[in-house]
Amino acid sequence: MIVAIDGPAAAGKGTLSRLLAEEMNLAWLETGSLYRAVALRVLRDGSDPGDSRAAVGAAGHLDAGDLSDPELRREDVGQAASRVAAISEVRAALIGFQRRFAHRPPGKVRGAVLDGRDIGTVVCPDADHKIFVTATPEARARRRFLQLRESGTPVDERQVLAATVERDARDTERSASPLTPAEDAHLLDTTNLSIDAAFATLTAYISGSSD
């Protein structure tokens, strides 16, 4: 079974995917971590994330250790990830890994859940279930702001909102695999939903009891 969960930053994809993986015994791949790992390598080399030669070089040299680096979660790495992700050669270098993970997931599992921006449209258009998780920019910025504050990072909520809107625009307006719902995706708006309520809706979509 392949489940594709797409949507903008901080809509709740990661939490929902993790819960789904646990509940249904699926392997989980957060595909954003691949773009973040490319971005972190580029930043550490002192290159610009918009420099396609540097980004394509980094994409060709990723290893498993890169994907578990706690620095991947940094705000500036998220922004840089969104810039390397606009380079079509970077996307081409990462698609094989994602498809292999979806079709031959590691471990004794029933299948895979992949979350990202283009899983239902480009990486796994043949996915058994596609969900597009969204929420207003204000709600997503608020969640991100609270997370950052809790982790001890001093932030201004207006700045988080501006960064969210900027990243949405870049991810949606790029020509290479832009963020957009697949035609056959279920839309799940989490603006006014608790995680429990959103997860119940997600599992209802997957079990086919809600259309």
Please pick, from the candidates 4, 21, 118, 135, the single residue that binds ligand DC as defined by CB under 6 A.
118
Among candidate residues 59, 4, 5, the one with its CA nearest the CA of residue 36: 59
- Asked if 56 contacts 87 with a C-beta cutoff of 8 angstroms, the reply is yes
Smallest distance from the beta carbon of 45 to ligand DC, in angstroms? Answer: 18
| Nearest CB to ligand DC, comparing residues 167 and 186 | 167
Residues 151-180 close enough to bind ligand DC by CB under 6 A: 167, 171
Please pick, from the candidates 37, 54, 56, 85, the single residue that binds ligand DC as defined by CB under 6 A.
85
Residues 20-49 close enough to bind ligand DC by CB under 6 A: 31-32, 35-36
In the chain, how long is the greatest CA-to-CA distance? Answer: 51
Under the binding rule (CB under 6 A), the answer on residue 121 touching ligand DC is: no
Residues 126-155 close enough to bind ligand DC by CB under 6 A: none
Instruction: Name 170's Cβ contacts closer than 8 Å, sequence gap at least 6.
Output: 82, 83, 86
- Asked if 35 contacts 179 with a C-beta cutoff of 8 angstroms, the reply is no
Instruction: Give the DSSP H or E segment for 13.
Output: helix 13-24
- Asked if 77 contacts 71 with a C-beta cutoff of 8 angstroms, the reply is yes
Smallest distance from the beta carbon of 75 to ligand DC, in angstroms? Answer: 10
Smallest distance from the beta carbon of 108 to ligand DC, in angstroms? Answer: 26
Give contact residues for ligand DC (rule: CB under 6 A). 9, 31-32, 35-36, 78, 81-82, 85, 116-119, 167, 171
